[in-house]
């Protein structure tokens, strides 16, 4: 349920209701009158508040009664991140500095204008990317001298292993925007190995000897502060950037994720991209999930690693169970990052009125999840019955086949 900002007053912050902890019309009326709820939970909020943030995070403001304990924060928005502006575009990042629980994965949101170049560079972490908008040309060379050049568009991926030098350039008509994911939560986009920085910090006579040219040939290398993301002419056709006689990389660094045939369910789709279909991607696996209004990513957990999420469109709530009686609920909008620590049970529910689309990303070469429904369906029924005091209707409803998305 969405709550318009203009409906929330300073007295809206009351208690959870039976309707999943969201603020209902009745709750709002009571809040505006300054009356406590009949169930005795919570009270009025006469002090300062930010209505727009309250509207976006109803399950933080009025949590479900099932929430308990002190789980850390599992949500951060790119819209709250510092943005770096440059002549060729902009960039912002969500790392362990912004989302402290995410020690193994960091994310960068980057925009390159048409012709804008992310300077030739490399880094210690593996780089996985999902194109959100527009088109880009990517280039790379591997350690064996194999060459790679490709154009990618919305819904496509790329992956560069650690240490592989590469570049990104926005194409016509309006450049590109993309999500970068790195397999290191402490990654810093401002601390990569830049070509210009390398040359500026190498003695001129060494450069002359290395390239077999006079030192004056590289006397005009720009200062690194001038580059990073810089404007340049839009390149010509892809064929013109192919290096004649060069041997291409044996495993492509790009992949058409949205061209994959999805796993289809009545109320959504799932596309899984790991090393089984994108062989070069050894450090990152991902799933692109689409959920229709009211439907839900089923109760499940991941037996191999933590989950890092990026919400592309729509709105959602996620409940996370951490064992030992701890659980917490979070709300998400487009451009938010979510996180689920290793093996914690969780669900993601579409709470909006449009399709929810988000990425599940893992520091792993393969995707794996355990379905609560399937586990119970493949466990002796009598054991399930006595464990849960379940009635026959529940036991009969259990599904042996996995269905990642369940209907409203």
What is the Cα–Cα distance from 396 to 398, expressed in whole angstroms? 6
Q: What is the dihedral of CA 66, 70, 74, 76, to 10 degrees?
A: 110
Query: Which sequence positions are flagged as catalytic?
Result: 360
User: Binding site annotation covers 177?
Assistant: no
Tell me if the bond preceding 173 is cis, omega within 30° of 0. yes
User: Binding site annotation covers 396?
Assistant: no
Identical fold for domains 77-255 and 260-406, yes or no, is yes
User: Binding site annotation covers 307?
Assistant: yes
Looking at residue 15, what is its pLDDT?
33
Looking at residue 224, what is its pLDDT?
83
User: Binding site annotation covers 346?
Assistant: yes
Report the phi/psi class of residue 331: left, alpha or beta, with left for phi > 0 and alpha for psi in -120 to 50: beta
Ranges of the chain whose pLDDT falls below 50: 1-38
Looking at residue 51, what is its pLDDT?
86
Looking at residue 389, what is its pLDDT?
97
Length of the chain: 408
What is the Cα–Cα distance from 101 to 137, expressed in whole angstroms? 33
Looking at residue 119, what is its pLDDT?
95
Looking at residue 38, what is its pLDDT?
37
- Who contacts 41 (Cβ-Cβ below 8 Å, separation ≥6)? 15, 16, 65
User: Binding site annotation covers 166?
Assistant: yes
User: Binding site annotation covers 300?
Assistant: yes
Q: What is the dihedral of CA 54, 60, 64, 65, to 10 degrees?
A: -120
Looking at residue 242, what is its pLDDT?
94
What is the Cα–Cα distance from 244 to 252, expressed in whole angstroms? 18
Domain locations in the chain as residue ranges:
5-61, 77-255, 260-406
CATH for the 77-255 domain, from 2.60.120.10, 3.20.20.140, 3.40.190.10, 3.40.50.1000: 2.60.120.10
The secondary element (H helix, E strand) that includes residue 140 is: strand 127-141
Supply the pTM of this predicted model. Answer: 0.90
Give phi and psi for 53, each to the nearest 5. -70, -35
Query: Domain 260-406 is of which CATH architecture?
Result: Sandwich (2.60)
């Amino acid at each position: 349920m969405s709550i318009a900002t203009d409906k929330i007053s300073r007295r809206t912050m009351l208690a959870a209701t039976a309707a999943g902890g969201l603020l209902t019309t009745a709750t709002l009326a009571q809040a505006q009158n300054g009356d406590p709820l009949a169930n005795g939970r919570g009270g009025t909020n006469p002090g300062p508040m930010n209505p727009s943030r309250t509207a976006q995070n109803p399950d933080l403001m009025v949590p479900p009664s099932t929430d308990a304990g002190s789980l850390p924060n599992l949500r951060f928005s790119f819209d709250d991140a510092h943005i770096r502006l440059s002549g060729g575009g902009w960039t912002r990042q969500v790392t362990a500095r912004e989302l402290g629980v995410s020690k193994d994965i960091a994310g960068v949101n980057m925009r390159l204008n048409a012709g804008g170049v992310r300077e030739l560079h490399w880094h210690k972490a593996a780089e996985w990317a999902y194109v959100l908008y527009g088109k880009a040309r990517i280039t790379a060379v591997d350690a064996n001298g194999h060459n790679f050049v490709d154009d990618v568009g919305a819904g496509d991926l790329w992956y560069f292993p650690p240490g592989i030098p590469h570049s990104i350039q926005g194409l016509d008509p309006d450049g590109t925007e993309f999500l970068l994911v790195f397999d290191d939560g402490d990654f810093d986009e401002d601390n990569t190995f830049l070509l210009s920085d390398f040359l500026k910090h190498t003695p001129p006579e060494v450069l002359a000897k290395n390239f077999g040219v006079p030192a004056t040939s590289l006397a005009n290398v720009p200062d690194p502060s001038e580059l990073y993301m810089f404007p340049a002419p839009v390149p010509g056709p892809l064929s013109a950037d192919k290096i004649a006689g060069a041997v291409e990389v044996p495993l492509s660094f790009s992949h058409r994720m949205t061209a994959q045939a999805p796993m289809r369910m009545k109320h959504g789709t799932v596309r899984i991209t790991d090393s089984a279909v994108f062989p070069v991607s050894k450090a990152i696996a991902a799933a692109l999930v689409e959920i229709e209004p009211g439907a839900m990513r089923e109760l499940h957990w991941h037996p191999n690693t933590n989950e890092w999420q990026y919400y592309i469109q729509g709105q959602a709530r996620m409940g996370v169970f951490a064992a030992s009686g701890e659980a917490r609920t979070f709300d998400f909008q487009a451009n938010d990052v979510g996180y689920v620590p290793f093996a914690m049970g969780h669900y993601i529910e579409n709470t909006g009125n449009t399709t929810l689309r988000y990425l599940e990303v893992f520091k792993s070469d393969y995707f794996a999840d355990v379905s609560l429904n399937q586990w119970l369906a493949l466990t002796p029924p009598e054991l399930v019955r006595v464990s849960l005091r379940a009635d026959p209707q529940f036991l009969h409803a259990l599904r042996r086949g996995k269905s990642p998305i369940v209907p409203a």
